[in-house]
């Protein structure tokens, strides 16, 4: 195994534990990253609680979400979320699907998710909402079919996170560090927005502020500092 792949496995395992430690991922979330030397593959943990994931738990899958090597390990049920987004977006290098309590209120109301502080601008200028009913009617809300994964990827489009009606959120990044940064601080933005709504009228960042903050916060210094923390 190359040093690049070994480092990727270590980083992905670390990302799982960080997001669990920060209270973003619950028992049912999952994180992946594109393979560092084979862009037509991705890495993801076996079916395991994120706070326990180690490098040896990381499996290698094709973009059709099939293990490259036979395995007896149980796999996550919603792998198509990852595989279909990697197929649709060559720039995406890491993906997190989670059900943070902070974000869920924006999945069950018609209130728009908006950046309300500078770190929250990592959500990007637009946060779309995917409603599985639009194409598939009443379902279990679990994304397990390839056509559902492809539909979610279309809803995400060129954006950096997509809310999933009555389910959760999927966040993408240009590196595993970028993804962890965005996943944590968009969740905190959601919590702050909900608190502010309880107090009165919320004034989000304007479009120019949001774009400038988005650009700055994606630079190497904020990302490296947050990852180190």
Residues 6+ apart with CB under 8 A from 109: none
Is the CB of residue 18 less than 8 Å from the CB of residue 179?
Answer: no
Distance CA 160, CA 23 (A): 20
pLDDT in tens, 32-44: 999 999 999 999 9
Q: Mean of the pLDDT values across residues 17-29?
A: 94
Catalytic residue among 78, 135, 147, 209: 78
* Structure confidence at residue 1 (pLDDT): 59
Could you give the angle at which helices 3-21 and 176-199 cross, rounded to 10 degrees? 20
User: Has residue 148 got a pLDDT over 70?
Assistant: yes
β-pair type (168-173, 58-62) = unpaired
Confidence of residue 205 (pLDDT cuts 50, 70, 90): very high
Is the CB of residue 223 less than 8 Å from the CB of residue 215?
Answer: no
pTM across the whole model? 0.95
Catalytic annotation on 78? yes
Selection from 65, 112, 95 nearest residue 161 by Cα: 95
Percentage of the residues of the chain whose pLDDT score is greater than 70: 100
């Amino acid at each position: 195994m190359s040093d690049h792949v070994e480092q990727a496995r270590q980083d992905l395992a670390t990302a799982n534990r960080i997001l669990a430690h920060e209270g973003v991922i619950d028992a049912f979330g999952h994180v992946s990253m594109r393979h560092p030397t084979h862009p037509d593959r991705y890495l993801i943990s076996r079916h395991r609680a994120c706070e326990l994931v180690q490098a040896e738990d990381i499996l290698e899958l094709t973009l059709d979400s099939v293990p490259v090597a036979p395995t007896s390990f149980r796999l996550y049920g919603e792998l198509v979320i990852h595989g279909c987004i990697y197929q649709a977006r060559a720039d995406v290098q890491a993906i997190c699907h989670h059900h943070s309590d902070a974000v869920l209120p924006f999945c069950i109301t018609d209130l728009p998710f908006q950046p309300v502080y500078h770190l929250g601008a990592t959500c990007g200028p637009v946060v779309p909402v995917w409603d599985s009913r639009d194409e598939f009617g009443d379902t279990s809300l679990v994304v397990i079919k390839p056509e559902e994964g492809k539909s979610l990827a279309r809803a995400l489009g060129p954006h950096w996170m997509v809310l999933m009606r009555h389910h959760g959120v999927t966040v993408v990044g240009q590196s595993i560090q970028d993804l962890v940064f965005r996943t944590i601080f968009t969740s905190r933005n959601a919590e702050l927005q909900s608190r502010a709504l309880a107090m009165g009228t919320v004034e989000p960042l304007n479009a120019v502020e949001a774009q400038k903050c988005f650009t700055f916060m994606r630079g190497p210094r904020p990302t490296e500092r947050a990852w180190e923390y």
